[in-house]
Structure 1
């Protein structure tokens, strides 16, 4: 879409408008001509620093993206937009979040990569809040009022200045995905996990990069050949990390978690850390995943917010779902045993072969369990138990039984799923217990 299309009326009746990287320095008033239909507005990548005081005239607006602009304060007018559910102001210069800037219907707030030093106590009144993304700011504490947001399911607070996790955080009844690496309180645990891993260095000169396999927020993945001591070429994957903070946190924390994870059939194993890159780029050599493996699901959409999007025809026998669960649960349990909290245990981070074999990957949201506070470490693991329970529920919902034995097995698995997702966090089983129950199933 272009500004000319907006100004000449070609976008009349549009429900969604994207005016990205158009050089905007002021909010285009022509947008108000779409007030009776506009629900999604994306103004990212411009030079905007404020919004019009009558923005609430867009009375149907549900989603607003203003990332990569020049805002220094979250605009207070947002709080008057009664239907606004998703607000994204990533990578601005925001230092202040006024209490009045929080819309009453807020479900998803993105303030990643700003300069926010504090959140207002009023955030506790956001009863519908499900997803809060605050990585890469200057937060030293979280307001205790946030504990009232019982619907909060995903929280990103990595790469801030937090000296401790608040005690109320691990017992939030619906929290399932938490990232907190790159804060002062987590530094020692991260360093200890890397030291314990003992990943060997791999000289850059021994690697020949081939085609690019993918790109994520934290880096690029290539197929590569790794020359062994005997001259043999070993096919591997190479991930080269970017330096900037991502929606989940610092790339160095992801790299550390990947190294600490260890070898497991349900994980993508780190084989070595790269040394001698000509530009000093950090990187890892990873086991190459068979190309028959594919993503189990797609990431959440604007509509689903915290739930992955599966293909419409995603169906499988119950035995296949059970095999996949039996693969992923012990993999996550091993991460916990190695001091790592995955933080993003989702179907979209699982590669599978369609028959039940799976690989849990993407450590971008991983954090490190405290080595000196076993009680907190256990409570954090039970957050991830809920994430696994939600995944198990998705697998079961798309399964079909093939025998009477399957019906009995489904009942037991459904009971396990309910235990994993119960609101009383302290009563949830740990991943090692979950893995044992699945093995017995």
Structure 2
């Protein structure tokens, strides 16, 4: 984090990145002194409600974050910034998005947790758009012109007021990660799925929480002891959910998907639902994951946008990759069979032990497939097939084949990967077919 004193004194001359979080109520004009170098500007966590009309003077600016401020309208000045391709205005008070506010080079737009009830049709002109984050607004429909954004790969539109999914959505050729839970059209499927899943109630008084294992946007996970009826103690993990909307949607939708997913060796087992928490907090009791398991990759960077970041030395034998790919495909296929779309099928949401044993986690973007519309449900599953195809590509490209036979197997994987990621979404295989093909390879 930088300071205004550093900016005013000239200490930041030549800076490519600037982050100011100091109660700003107006855009500091001193920032223009960095116009020839500044590429990333973070003004999140201030009290800003406007940007200067001459913002385009920052002619090298590519990334702008203005989350957690007081904006009520997406500033029109953004649309005049020719190099700007990533815009983040999460958790403001934005109600309107003017057409002129959309930069021509826009690639990543974050408008999560605002009060937007409509998007302009001009968004269809943003043909470079890859990532669109709209969860937690008041949208009743998406503009039909968005179908022209054929580069779109990730779409978050959970926790809105959508009455239906657009017919054109599943046909977007590059869409791989989709979240739509918490809308009126998905609520009934979510409720029915939870009611159908048998899950034990775990009294809060029987849980003793210890150290924190992790924290995400939707909740906090603790290591815990669960006192059994026979007097024994069972080590578990407890996830306590937050109430606020996340970048993916509502925490209650995540909890519902975890409950409805069912038991599978490549999913983290749900042991029960927390009951009688003194503050009414929702929570799940989960199997405690062996500490040798770690994330397969890191999340996308600002530069990679939608693709995960692997360690430079990430590599593995074919047998290891095959075990991992088979397990994750099987888990995803079970989710689909249980009416669930994971929505975030990424390496950074897979825990693995380095030997090919993997666990697919993070159900924050999970949604429920429409039970009464089988054609649409199949189309949505084929969106996730593309996500798996991209994961398979990442695993395959880091394999170390030992002989000609393994080279041949990788060639068959390449064919499967191409089928999963082909632009014609309706021709992609379902996850159950993918899992069977991997098992037979």
Tell me whether the two structures share a fold, i.e. TM-score over 0.5.
Answer: yes
Partner of 2:255: 255
**1:172, distance to aligned residue in structure 2 (A):** 0.4
1:2 paired with 2:35, answer no
Counterparts of 1:288-303 in structure 2, within 5 Å, are: 288-303=288-303
Output the CA distance in 2 between the equivalents of 1:101 and 1:400.
48
Contact 1:327 1:357 in 2 (8 A): yes
2:178 alignment counterpart: 178
Aligned-partner Cα distance in 2 for 1:197–1:124: 41
The separation in 2 between residues aligned to 1:85 and 1:292, in whole angstroms, is 38
How many Å separate the matches in 2 of 1:191 and 1:325? 31
Name the structure 1 match of 2:189. 189
* Structure 2 residue ranges without an equivalent (≥5): none
Residue 19 of structure 1 corresponds to: 20
The Cα shift of 1:229 comes to 1.4
- Secondary structure, aligned partner of 1:114: coil
CA distance in 2, matches of 1:231, 1:242: 31
Structure 2 Cα separation of the partners of residues 437 and 233 of structure 1: 42
CA distance in 1, matches of 2:55, 2:313: 41
> Aligned equivalents of 2:251 and 2:335: distance in 1?
18
The answer to whether the 8 Å contact 1:207/1:227 transfers is yes
State the shift of 1:7 in Å. 1.0
Deviates more, 1:2-11 or 1:350-359: 2-11
> Would you say 1:356 and 2:356 are equivalent positions?
yes
Structure 1 residue aligned with 2:268 = 268
In structure 2, what is the Cα distance between the partners aligned to 1:269 and 1:43? Answer: 40
Q: Does the 8 A contact of 1:261 with 1:269 survive in 2?
A: no
| Preserved CA contact (<8 Å) 1:295 1:351 | yes
User: What corresponds to 1:434 in structure 2?
Assistant: 434
The Cα shift of 1:437 comes to 0.4
Alpha-carbon separation, structure 2, partners of 1:196 and 1:107:
40
Partner in structure 1 of residue 237 of structure 2: 237
Q: What are structure 1's unaligned runs of at least 5 residues?
A: none
Correspondences of 1:74-89 after superposition (within 5 Å)? 74-89=74-89
What's the offset of the Cα at 1:227?
Answer: 1.1
Q: Aligned runs of 1:93-132 on 2, under 5 Å? A: 93-132=93-132
CA distance in 1 between counterparts of 2:222 and 2:20 reads 32
Q: TM-score, normalised to structure 1's length?
A: 0.99
Name 1:282's counterpart in structure 2. Answer: 282
2:105 aligned counterpart, secondary structure = coil
Distance in 1, matches of 2:399 and 2:195, equals: 42
Number of matched pairs: 440
CA–CA separation in structure 1 for the residues paired with 2:423 and 2:246: 30
CA distance in 1: counterparts of 2:223 and 2:292, whole angstroms: 15
Aligned equivalent of 1:50: 50
Question: Structure 2 CA distance, aligned partners of 1:4 and 1:261?
Answer: 53
State the alpha-carbon separation in 2 of the partners of residues 257 and 2 from structure 1.
Answer: 43
Report the aligned-residue RMSD. 0.5
Q: In the alignment, which residue of structure 2 is the partner of 1:65?
A: 65
Mapped contact 1:194–1:259 kept (Cα < 8 A): yes
Shift of 1:320: 1.0
| Cα distance in 2 for residues equivalent to 1:257 and 1:3 | 45
Separation of aligned partners in 1, 2:237 and 2:434 = 31
What is the SS of the residue equivalent to 1:246?
A: coil
Q: In 2, are the aligned partners of 1:369 and 1:377 still within 8 Å (CA)?
A: yes
Deviation at 1:95, TM superposition (A): 0.4
State the alpha-carbon separation in 2 of the partners of residues 82 and 316 from structure 1.
42
Q: Deviations over 1:165-188 (max 9, x none)?
A: 000001100000000000000000
SS of the equivalent of 1:50 reads coil
1:216 shift after superposition: 0.1
The residue matched to 2:146 in structure 1 has which SS? helix
Partner of 1:221: 221
**Distance (whole Å) between structure 2 residues aligned to residue 409 and residue 257 of structure 1:** 34
Query: How many Å separate the matches in 2 of 1:234 and 1:362?
Result: 23
Distance in 2 of aligned mates of 1:201 and 1:25: 48
**Cross-structure match for 2:334:** 334
Inter-partner Cα distance in structure 1 for 2:231 and 2:257: 30
CA distance in structure 2 between the aligned counterparts of 1:403 and 1:195, rounded to whole angstroms: 51
User: Residue by residue, what CA displacement relative to the aligned partner does 1:312-358 show, whole Å, maximum 9, x if unpaired?
Assistant: 11011112111100110000000011111000000000000011000
* 2:419 pairs with 1:407: no
Shift of 1:197: 1.1
